[in-house]
Structure 1
């Protein structure tokens, strides 16, 4: 089963210039990690919301928070415990204050 590990971090002014720590980069090459993306800072976001009669477009993330979605990692695991184990190893290589939300991915039905 696939899981999305959503990484939330405190704001960091040097995000774009700061390299991924080598230990974390090594963890991201684990065969269980099937994809990952590091996101630009929260202020680069644009949120689109479906309204009753029109689409509402706003600058920035929809939620104002001290933490923001910094990236997402896709992993393959047999169950939630396996996904949590992967998340725990990745969390050990991140900055203090980082949180990882683990969510199962729904199979696409077209």
Structure 2
């Protein structure tokens, strides 16, 4: 089963784009269970679209107002939630203090629209 690890960083950690991925973290990301990953720019670079009443509203910034921001996501393969949590724990030990990792199962298949 595939799991998404959503990485949340503290707000003061905004110089990430200029900083290389640490070697130990890079080695974990190159592991056989990781099927894809991406680092994201700070939340201030986000643009959010909201729909309703037949129109679209564009807003600068993230969808939610939070002290932490979504810094990246990693897709992994694991047998079950316990395996995904073990992988997330290993990654967490290689991140900066204050980082949080949210683990969510990925819905199989692709969205094809209605």
Band the TM-score falls in, shorter-chain normalisation:
over 0.9
How many pairs are equivalent?
Answer: 110
Extract unaligned runs of 5+ from structure 1. Answer: none
Map 1:1-110 to 2 at 5 A.
1-11=1-11, 12-108=13-109, 110=112
TM-score by length of 2: 0.92
Question: For the residues of structure 1 that align with 2:46 and 2:101, how far apart are their CA atoms?
Answer: 20
Give the alignment's Cα RMSD to 1 decimal.
Answer: 1.0
TM-fit CA distance, 1:51: 0.9
Extract unaligned runs of 5+ from structure 2. Answer: none
The DSSP-based 3-state class of the residue aligned with 2:75 is strand
TM-score by length of 1: 0.95
Question: For the residues of structure 1 that align with 2:55 and 2:44, how far apart are their CA atoms?
Answer: 24
Runs of 4+ with >2 A deviation: none
